[in-house]
Amino acid sequence: MKILSWNVRGLGRSRTVNRLRNKLRAINLHILFLMETKLDSKKMELVRVKCGFPNGIDVSACSSKGGLSLEWKGIVDFASWIGGQSKAREQKHQRASWERKLSSLYNQDPTDKVLTEIMEAQIGLNIEADKEEIFWEQRARVNWLKNGDRNTNFFHKVVISRNKRNRILGLSKDDSELISNPDDMLRVVIEYFGKLFTASDVVGDYRVLSLVEQKVSSSMNDDLLKPFSKEDIRIVIKEITHLKAP
């Protein structure tokens, strides 16, 4: 969120107002506080709207001194500013409630109903995470949560739990010997998949192949297998068009 406090020293001239409007467009503010406007509230309201701030509180100047204007756009949520602590506690309580529900669902049998409730709880937890990020971004008044990092303690626990469940502690060889050393396990895996994807001699009924009509004669096969001659290469290159590469 971008906020600016500015002593403008008078906004009575149209040239000054135009410069202010162009400046505000360039920096794209959310909240603007102007001092020493030297205008009454009605004229300041016209200037404020012209500068792109439909919402605001304008205080008239005393004669040719003073004048204040607090301006903001419609996207600003002042509730988080006024009751920040209570809102933070409410969000924390809501998020903890979703986390407890999700932890309880993970310990149940994965029926269709439980999986649906897990999905709903995850969506609710993501929504609360988005709310918390927006809240602290507004409170800090800087965009330090640009990429939205949600690496909370709860998600750390979930990831660690999944890693423990997916960890391979040992492998059994063909002779039922249990291997737990990482280097030995790596060799067992390489050996297993090496055998799995190695082609073996095909054993079948070759009488079926005798029923297939022969299309390539012995002389044709000899011509296909013999090495290329210089004459063959010369003929092929001459047949290539001018815009083609050999």
State the 10-residue block means of pLDDT for the chain, 246 residues long: 83 87 85 90 90 88 87 67 60 80 82 81 75 56 44 54 68 82 84 76 67 85 87 84 65
The pLDDT, as a whole number, for residue 202 is 60
What DSSP designation does 211 have? G
The pLDDT, as a whole number, for residue 34 is 92
In degrees rounded to 5, what are phi and psi of residue 72? -155, 160
Residue keyed to tokens 């290329």: 228
In degrees rounded to 5, what are phi and psi of residue 168? -95, 115
The pLDDT, as a whole number, for residue 123 is 78
User: Amino acid identity of 79?
Assistant: A
The pLDDT, as a whole number, for residue 147 is 42
Strands (E), the chain: 3-7, 31-35, 55-59, 68-72, 171-172, 178-179
C-alpha span between 42 and 201 (Å, rounded): 95
Q: Up-side HSE of residue 73: CA atoms within 13 Å toward CB? A: 14
C-alpha span between 2 and 31 (Å, rounded): 7
User: Residue 175 to residues 55, 171, 179, 188: CA-CA distances in angstroms?
Assistant: 79, 11, 11, 12
Tokens of 244: 């083609």
C-alpha span between 79 and 139 (Å, rounded): 11
Strand partners, 6: 34
Chain length of the chain: 246
b/e burial code for range 70-107 (CB count within 10 A of at least 16 → b): bbbeeeeeeebeeeeeebeeebeebbeebbebbeebee
Tokens of 154: 């709860």
User: Residue ranges per domain, the chain?
Assistant: 3-77, 80-164, 170-198
Tokens of 224: 């296909």
C-alpha span between 42 and 51 (Å, rounded): 15
